[in-house]
Amino acid sequence: MPQLNPCPWFMILLSSWTIMLLILMPMIMHTYHLSPPTNQDGAHTTYAWNWTWQ
């Protein structure tokens, strides 16, 4: 049964993860932009919710 032989499949697994981590992931992360941080001057106030069942 050839599927029980890990030699070719293990190398395919390692090479695919290596390609993904070293080549594709930096390309994906380069196109992903986070929103710039905002300046939060002043106090942030929170309000309690008025639940009708309490």
Q: Per-residue pLDDT averaged across 19-32, rounded?
A: 82
Residue 42: which pLDDT band, with cuts at 50, 70 and 90?
A: low
Mean pLDDT for the chain? 77
Residue 5 backbone class (left: φ over 0; alpha: ψ -120 to 50; beta: rest):
beta
Q: Percent helix, strand and coil across the chain, each rounded to 5? A: 55, 0, 45
44: pLDDT strictly greater than 70: no
Q: Under 8 Å CB-to-CB from 3, ≥6 apart: which residues?
A: 9
Q: Which stretch of DSSP H or E encloses residue 6?
A: helix 6-19
Residue 31: which pLDDT band, with cuts at 50, 70 and 90?
A: confident
Question: Both tokens of residue 17?
Answer: 């993860």
Q: Cα–Cα distance between 3 and 10 in angstroms, integer? A: 11
Q: Can you give the pLDDT at residue 15?
A: 93
